[in-house]
Amino acid sequence: MTATATKTLEATLAPPTAHKEHRLQRTMAAYRRALAESFERGADTQSAVNDVVTGYTLTSYAKDALKNYVPQLRDTYNASELDDDHPVRFTNRGWRLDHSEERTHEFCWRVPQAGRGNAFWIPLCINPAQRELWTDLLDGDVTVGEFRLQEHRTTWVLHVTVEYEVAEPEEPDDPTPVGFDIGESKLLTGCACQDNTPTNPMLFDGGRARHLRKEMFTTLRRLQERDAAEWRIDERFDHHQNALTDIVEKASREAVEYAQQFEKPVIVLEDLSYIREHLDYGKWMNRSLHNWAFARLTGRIEDKALEAGIPVRFVNPAYTSQTCHACGHPGSRSSQAQFRCTNDECWVTEYQADINAAGNIAGRLNPWGESLSLKPTGDDSPRDGSACDSTAGHRTPSPKPGQTTLAAFQS
């Protein structure tokens, strides 16, 4: 069994000549106007978008990308308004890469332009850590899904989504589902379900990430107000971004290590792929930490799990934080950190909210939601939650065996 994995290659365009800079700007402006007009007219099919974009001076690769992208905006992404920093997207048909070891910049990219013979080449500064993938791309070992051009402060950045085949780890019989919840109060919460019981959860605090991001905003604003040199602003930006990347790397590494301690682990994550699709590099500054963290962390956990041979499954994310993991009833968050089950019949009254959510995510590994419905150890009532739902007057007094509070797990 193989699975298709994707990675995003990143390169900075070598500083363009004034003429090329002008053409890049023009492409970006035309694309954004076409995107805005299609969106505002409510074009929700490929042909409706086609009607709008036909008159624009854009290459067919960019128009085709808009035809794919715009109809999804309202449906999948549920967007009510457009961000104003969309990258120019191109379909893979327009992809051309050239390579020569004789040049300072070995790789050159052909920038698609409207009109025959107007495309031009520009040298790329690639991320050295991704050199092998660029070579694979040249050799045809990986294929291009889509590529995007973005203006990033004073430079132009190219992102190339590549697809490649990897061996998919087999899902074992009788696996231990390990759910992960990505949130703002705790950046990452992991919870394994052994014998349908939340077991030894892990908590990774996002406090430093939140702090860093706040600090970055303040620093950048102050530098901009002072009219500081661009290089100085770029330097601070890179500094903070690297620090945040380090946190994501650490959290994802701990997540996979946490999963590895259990027998036959299967990592279960929320399927919010639309967020990941929607996020472009550089855009995270404008997003909530949660969205940024979600996109980056999910991707890194998945990559590291694949490398470690642990299967990863994505489940429906609906109501994972508002449902009681034990009885499946809706509940409420009495505070950010506490989940309260409102079902009188249930043994849970208050539960650490992130662990409750992670437990729900783990429990969704089984699509039928029965055998993995969580119960405290020693409870032999039906596992499908019917005891909790029963309205027949008898109420089994709950011993409340495992009331989970953060304090209990931290001690």
Provide, rounded to whole angstroms, the least separation between the CB of residue 379 and Zn ion.
12
Total residue count of the chain as it appears in this document: 411
Q: Which residues pair with 109 in a beta bridge?
A: 97, 122
- Return the range that interacts with Zn ion (CB under 5 A); candidates 76-84, 182-190, 339-347, 360-368: 339-347
- Return the range that interacts with Zn ion (CB under 5 A); candidates 60-68, 237-245, 291-299, 326-334: 326-334
Provide, rounded to whole angstroms, the least separation between the CB of residue 163 and Zn ion.
42
* Distance from C-alpha of 194 to C-alpha of 377, rounded to nearest angstrom: 10
- Within 10 angstroms of residue 296's Cβ, the number of other Cβ atoms is 22
Residues 246-305 that bind Zn ion (CB under 5 A): none
Provide, rounded to whole angstroms, the least separation between the CB of residue 343 and Zn ion.
5
Provide, rounded to whole angstroms, the least separation between the CB of residue 364 and Zn ion.
16
Secondary-structure percent of the chain, ordered helix, strand, coil, rounded to 5? 40, 25, 35
Provide, rounded to whole angstroms, the least separation between the CB of residue 409 and Zn ion.
19
Count of positions on this chain that bind Zn ion (CB under 5 A): 8
- Within 10 angstroms of residue 34's Cβ, the number of other Cβ atoms is 23
How many degrees, rounded to 5, is the angle at CA 131 between CA 127 and CA 134?
Answer: 105
* Nearer of residues 88 and 362 to Zn ion, judged by Cβ: 362
Q: Which residues pair with 333 in a beta bridge?
A: 339
- Return the range that interacts with Zn ion (CB under 5 A); candidates 147-155, 225-233, 305-313, 321-329: 321-329
Q: Which amino acid is at 263?
A: E
What are φ and ψ of residue 69, in 5° steps? -85, -45
Residue 341 makes contact with Zn ion by CB under 5 A: yes
Residue 346 makes contact with Zn ion by CB under 5 A: yes
Residue 42 half-sphere exposure toward CB, CA atoms < 13 A: 0
Provide, rounded to whole angstroms, the least separation between the CB of residue 79 and Zn ion.
35
- Return the range that interacts with Zn ion (CB under 5 A); candidates 215-223, 230-238, 345-353, 397-405: 345-353
What SS3 class is residue 266? Answer: strand
* Nearer of residues 311 and 376 to Zn ion, judged by Cβ: 376
Provide, rounded to whole angstroms, the least separation between the CB of residue 181 and Zn ion.
17
Q: Which one of residues 326, 361, 365, 374 is an interface residue with Zn ion (CB under 5 A)?
A: 326
Provide, rounded to whole angstroms, the least separation between the CB of residue 326 and Zn ion.
5
- Return the range that interacts with Zn ion (CB under 5 A); candidates 142-150, 160-168, 306-314, 329-337: 329-337
- Within 10 angstroms of residue 77's Cβ, the number of other Cβ atoms is 13
* Nearer of residues 275 and 355 to Zn ion, judged by Cβ: 355
Of 110, 109, 108, 163, which Cα lies nearest the Cα of 141?
A: 163
Residue 355 makes contact with Zn ion by CB under 5 A: no
Q: Which one of residues 124, 182, 306, 327 is an interface residue with Zn ion (CB under 5 A)?
A: 327
* Nearer of residues 19 and 394 to Zn ion, judged by Cβ: 394
Q: Which one of residues 343, 356, 373, 404 is an interface residue with Zn ion (CB under 5 A)?
A: 343
Residue 357 makes contact with Zn ion by CB under 5 A: no
- Return the range that interacts with Zn ion (CB under 5 A); candidates 53-61, 128-136, 333-341, 366-374: 333-341
Q: Edge to edge, what strands does the sheet with 120-126 contain?
A: 88-91, 143-152, 155-167, 2-13, 120-126, 107-111, 97-99
Helix (H) or strand (E) holding 256: helix 230-260
Largest CA distance in the chain: 83
- Who contacts 349 (Cβ-Cβ below 8 Å, separation ≥6)? 340, 341, 400, 403
Is 233 within 8 Å of 223 (Cβ atoms)?
yes
Provide, rounded to whole angstroms, the least separation between the CB of residue 400 and Zn ion.
11
Q: Which one of residues 43, 324, 361, 387 is an interface residue with Zn ion (CB under 5 A)?
A: 324
- Within 10 angstroms of residue 248's Cβ, the number of other Cβ atoms is 20
Q: Given the rule CB under 5 A, which residues bind Zn ion?
A: 324, 326-327, 329, 341, 343, 346, 348
